[in-house]
Copies of this chain bind each other. A is one copy, B any other.
Amino acid sequence: MKYSHLIFSYLLMSVSNAFITGRKSNNAASLMPRSNIASSSSSMMQSVVTNHEVVRVELGDDRSYPIYIGGKFEPSEGGAMLASHVHGNRCLIVTNDRVAPILLDKYVEMIESNGKQVDTLVLPDGEENKSIDVMTMVLDKAMELGLDRKVTFVALGGGVIGDMVGFSAAIYQRGVNFIQVPTTVMSMVDSSVGGKTGVNHPLGKNMVGAFYQPQCVYIDIDTLSTLPDRELQSGISEIIKYGLIQDADFFIWLEKNMDGLLNRNLEIFTYAIKRSCEIKAAVVEADEKEAGLRATLNLGHTFGHAIESGSGYGHWLHGEAVAIGTAMAAQMSAKMGWIEDSLVERIYNILLAAKLPLELPVNSPMDQETFLKLMSKDKKVANGQLRLILLKGELGNCVFTGDFDEQAMIDTIDTFVAECKGKSA
């Protein structure tokens, strides 16, 4: 199959309220009362959303599941909700050593108080631990505890934990249930939704894994109150992506509400996360195994993964690398005349407003050769041909294609490399 110049210009405007599963066409920008948003200015603690939202991911047969999104879940309410998705008697909560001191006891109690037997495992934090070896620790723990096929794994943490625990659930006894409890913006809007699980290989990011859907995703936005600013901003880069690839109105809403996001306004965050989950859910429903459309979620990621990998994991946060990658994709699209320069400017402005990096750092080890070598290992390469997600046309439109001007790509890489070398000289 070839996906040259397929333009995906979906405007999947949808609303979903608590326990209402249907979607109706609407204007995303009009969903929230503007006056309220303008007046709410500071911390997450100020406003209280009493009802949670539910976005459903509809995948047919037994793989559909709800995403619960709320800012003030009652522990009893949340515990019952989670326990209802633990179909056996036992569950294993896996988290990392940064999240464990803050949240582990709370979640153990929430689920135990609903009559389930809970065991726990704390893994070392960090992208460098997203490996086959660390993932195997989950399997070892489950075997030592004698957990059978009816167990449910609970992934409590960011994207690394979610991807790794999801993958271990996919392969433990050929598949057991699991629940995603994402605790970072990045994992709430991206990695916890859609069933991509896996670990890194020393030669490439996310190269080992499975498509495997959770029983539910439980997003308590209140957990973001302890998230470092830099990680918050990293996650926002994925939120911006959703606007760019297919929802111009959402992008415009984000331009207007970036301060509220950075200030962790609960209502603004709830809407941004819900809208992101809705877009991701619709894309995953249409193309679960990434035959085409789903690849558009990787805007900026082919450049971004190369930057992450070439700079050594841990130097950049994923969303930061994606922000630079998005800037590169925008520049390249403009070089080919696919988008207006004014759109590139808006993209730079919103990424800057989100305090995201737009250039390679001084002394970056990245050069043209390194970029091309690492990009050639991208999972979207098919029969040796590189395929990219690029912007084309008006705001909110993108293409997934192998049919682009290679010189424009090389010029873009050279420009970014030269900028960074220029600074270090």
Contacts and interface: CB of A to CB of B under 8 A. Distances in A.
Given A89-B383, A136-B132, A208 B172 contact: yes
A203 B172 CA distance: 12
A171 B171 contact: yes
Contacts of A377: 143, 146
Interface in A293-331: none
Interface string A365-383: 0000000000011010111
Contact of A173 (B139, B175, B207, B383): B207
Contact of A174 (B89, B204, B211, B382): B211
Given A132-B132, A132-B136, A150-B383, A204 B143 contact: yes
Contacts of A139: 132, 201, 207-208
A79 B30 CA distance: 61
A382 B149 contact: yes
Interface in A137-153: 139-140, 143-144, 146, 148-150
Contact of A171 (B88, B148, B209): B209
Contacts of A202: 143
A196 interface: yes
A170 interface: yes
A235 interface: no
Contacts of A88: 382-383
A384 interface: yes
Interface in A211-266: 211
Interface string A118-162: 000000000000001000100110011010111000000000000
A148 B382 contact: yes
A83 interface: no
Contacts of A140: 201
A379 B209 contact: no
A210 interface: yes
Nearest to A136: B132
A203 B144 contact: yes
A198 B171 CA distance: 8
A202 B144 CA distance: 10
A203 to B, nearest CB: 4
Interface string A168-182: 001111110000000
A143 B379 contact: no
A382 B149 CA distance: 6
B132 A210 contact: no
A199 B90 CA distance: 24
**Top 6 nearest A-B pairs by Cβ distance?**
A143-B203, A148-B381, A174-B209, A150-B383, A173-B379, A150-B382
Given A139-B201, A148-B384, 14 more contacts: A139-B207, A143-B202, A143-B204, A143-B207, A144-B203, A148-B379, A148-B382, A149-B381, A170-B210, A171-B198, A171-B209, A172-B207, A173-B208, A175-B210
